[in-house]
């Protein structure tokens, strides 16, 4: 059985259900980790003067992707700066996507709550209509009974027998 790459696995899950918050978060995590690792290696390989060890290069890409950017490590080469720009774009995109995802969860929850309220309103209206129908039938039955029996003689309470 062929093992799939973690990025491919995350993309397949996302393609199967893109609206899933869980799938979107996993895709963004995998992409972010990949860009930090790949960017760190590229910077380390092509900008050894500014990043002599892999740990320093990974630290640079990690602080850049999180938009912290302490400024303690800044690349001077074109490749280092291009990697930094790519990592910054992914970092900003990550924040934007996470914010949009969280917002969509709140909007959907509100929509569901409004839909349930509308269903409750419809149920109340339906019950009211049925109750009005029953009351109308009872009134008709009382009128029919009164018409069949005629006037009812009620003893006059003021007259003694």
Which stretches of the chain score pLDDT less than 70? 1-4, 6-7, 10-11, 13-20, 117-119, 150-161
The conformation of residue 2, written as its DSSP 8-state character, comes to P
pLDDT for 38 equals 93
pLDDT for 55 equals 93
pTM: 0.54
CATH classification for the domain delimited by 6-109, as one of 3.40.50.300, 3.20.20.70, 1.10.3720.10, 1.10.287.70: 1.10.287.70
pLDDT for 125 equals 80
The conformation of residue 50, written as its DSSP 8-state character, comes to T
Residue found under tokens 């899933």 = 20
Q: How far apart are CA 112 and CA 5, in angstroms?
A: 37
Measured at the alpha carbon of residue 39, what is the angle toward residues 38 and 42, in degrees to the nearest 5?
85
Query: pLDDT of 95-126, one tens digit each?
Result: 888 888 778 878 887 888 777 766 677 778 88
Rg, C-alpha atoms of the chain: 37
Both tokens of 108, joined, read 């959907």
Q: Which long-range contacts (CB under 8 A, 24 or more apart) does 76-84 make?
A: 76/47, 76/49, 76/50, 77/46, 77/47, 77/49, 77/50, 79/42, 79/43, 79/46, 79/47, 80/43, 80/46, 80/47, 80/50, 80/51, 83/39, 83/42, 83/43, 84/39, 84/43, 84/60
pLDDT for 52 equals 93
Other C-beta atoms lying within 10 Å of the C-beta of residue 157: 6
pLDDT for 37 equals 94
Domain ranges of the chain: 6-109
pLDDT for 44 equals 93
pLDDT for 109 equals 78
């Amino acid at each position: 059985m062929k093992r799939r790459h973690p990025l491919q696995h995350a993309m397949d899950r996302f393609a199967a259900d893109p609206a899933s918050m869980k799938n979107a978060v996993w895709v963004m995590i995998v992409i972010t980790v990949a860009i930090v690792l790949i960017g760190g290696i590229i910077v380390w390989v092509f900008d050894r003067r500014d990043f002599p060890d892999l740990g320093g290069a990974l630290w640079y890409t990690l602080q850049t992707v999180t938009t912290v950017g302490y400024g303690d490590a800044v690349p001077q080469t074109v490749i280092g700066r291009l990697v930094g720009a790519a990592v910054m774009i992914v970092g900003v995109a990550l924040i934007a996507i996470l914010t949009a995802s969280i917002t969509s969860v709140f909007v959907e929850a509100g929509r569901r709550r409004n839909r349930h309220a509308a269903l409750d309103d419809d149920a109340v209206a339906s019950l009211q209509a049925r109750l009005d129908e029953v009351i109308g039938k009872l009134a008709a039955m009382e009128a029919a009974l009164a018409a069949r029996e005629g006037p009812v003689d009620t003893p006059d309470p003021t007259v003694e027998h």
